[in-house]
Each structure stands twice: as structure tokens, then as C-alpha cells.
């Protein structure tokens, strides 16, 4: 029976340490921004660098439209571009940036997002909880392995019962 417990203990410790390592690596990748979605990053780059509208057929605009839909009453087929309003002082940094949609008749919708909201959206990772779950699973497995080790050691030191 002790040999079976010993095998389970080693298996728990090995998989637990592996899960912990994966959780830490995934957390680091998330912090470094390696898990960001390319279409969101491309939208922020467009927002910061471009002086023209972004056609709604482009992937970054599609991603933006999913997160920041047009105002009520505006049909998707009416929109042609995502546009922005930038307020700045004499070629200095932008003080305020707001986004809206241009319609086929060249009118614009009300604003649907600010640059701060868009940057926060772009920084979101698709699976923010995954690193935490892996780390928790790894911790629980290592804790279980340690408890089994304590039990095995305690059982080995206990004198045999004789009747």
C-alpha cells in the first residue's frame, strides 16, 4: 500500500510543479503583453498614428465594433468607417481622443469610446484567469503531495501493532 501512495505522491508533486511553472510562465506572458490580440493592438496603433478613418471591413475595426457597438438605431450596413476626434494643443500630445462611426451619407454617430477605454480594451488578455487557475491547481497538487509525504513518514515511524 505504501508503494502505491508513494507513486501517487510523486505524480502529484510532478504534475503540481509543472502546473505551477506553466501558471507562472503564462502570468509572465500576460504581463509582458505577449497574449494581446493583434487586431486590438493594430487598432490602437491606427488610433495613435493615422489621420484618416479606418474602414469597417478591416479586422481591427471589426474587433472594435464587437466591443464598442454603434449607438442604438444605427444599422451595421450604414457604417463605412471608424473615425476619431482628437483634441490637442499646437501639435502637442493628444488631450482627448474619442471614437465614433461615419455613415454612408458622411454623417457621424455619437461617440462610443475614448482612447483610455480603447487602450484598456487592447491590454486585456483573452484568458486572464488561466494563469491563476494553473497556479492554484499546481499549489493544491503540491500541498496534497506534501500531506501524503507527511502521512507516509508518520506511518513509517509508528511501531507495528501486534495483538
Q: According to the model, what pLDDT value does residue 98 have?
A: 95
Q: According to the model, what pLDDT value does residue 2 have?
A: 62
Q: Which residues contact 146 (CB under 8 A, 6 or more apart)?
A: none
Q: According to the model, what pLDDT value does residue 91 have?
A: 75
Nearest to 26 by CA among 17, 35, 38: 35
Q: According to the model, what pLDDT value does residue 163 have?
A: 59
Q: According to the model, what pLDDT value does residue 93 have?
A: 76
What is the C-alpha separation between 1 and 147, in angstroms, rounded?
16
Low-confidence ranges of the chain (pLDDT < 70): 1-2, 159-163
Domains in the chain: boundaries: 1-35+127-163, 36-124
What is the C-alpha separation between 88 and 138, in angstroms, rounded?
50
pLDDT tens digits, 112-142: 999 999 999 998 887 778 889 999 999 999 9
Q: According to the model, what pLDDT value does residue 49 have?
A: 85
Amino acid at each position: 500500500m505504501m508503494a502505491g501512495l508513494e507513486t501517487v505522491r510523486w505524480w502529484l508533486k510532478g504534475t503540481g510543479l509543472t502546473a505551477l511553472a506553466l501558471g507562472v510562465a503564462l502570468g509572465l506572458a500576460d504581463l509582458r503583453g505577449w497574449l494581446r490580440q493583434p487586431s486590438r493592438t493594430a487598432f490602437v496603433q491606427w488610433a495613435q498614428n493615422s489621420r484618416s478613418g479606418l474602414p469597417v471591413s478591416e479586422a481591427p475595426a471589426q474587433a472594435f465594433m464587437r466591443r464598442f457597438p454603434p449607438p442604438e438605431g444605427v444599422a451595421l450596413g450604414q457604417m463605412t468607417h471608424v473615425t476619431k476626434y482628437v483634441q490637442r494643443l499646437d501639435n502637442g500630445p493628444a488631450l482627448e481622443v474619442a471614437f465614433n462611426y461615419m455613415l454612408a451619407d458622411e454623417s457621424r454617430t455619437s461617440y462610443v469610446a475614448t482612447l483610455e477605454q480603447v487602450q484598456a480594451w487592447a491590454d486585456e488578455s483573452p484568458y486572464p484567469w488561466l494563469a491563476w487557475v494553473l497556479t492554484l491547481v499546481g499549489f493544491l497538487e503540491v500541498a496534497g503531495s506534501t500531506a501524503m509525504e507527511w502521512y507516509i513518514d508518520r506511518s513509517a515511524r509508528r511501531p507495528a501493532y501486534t495483538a
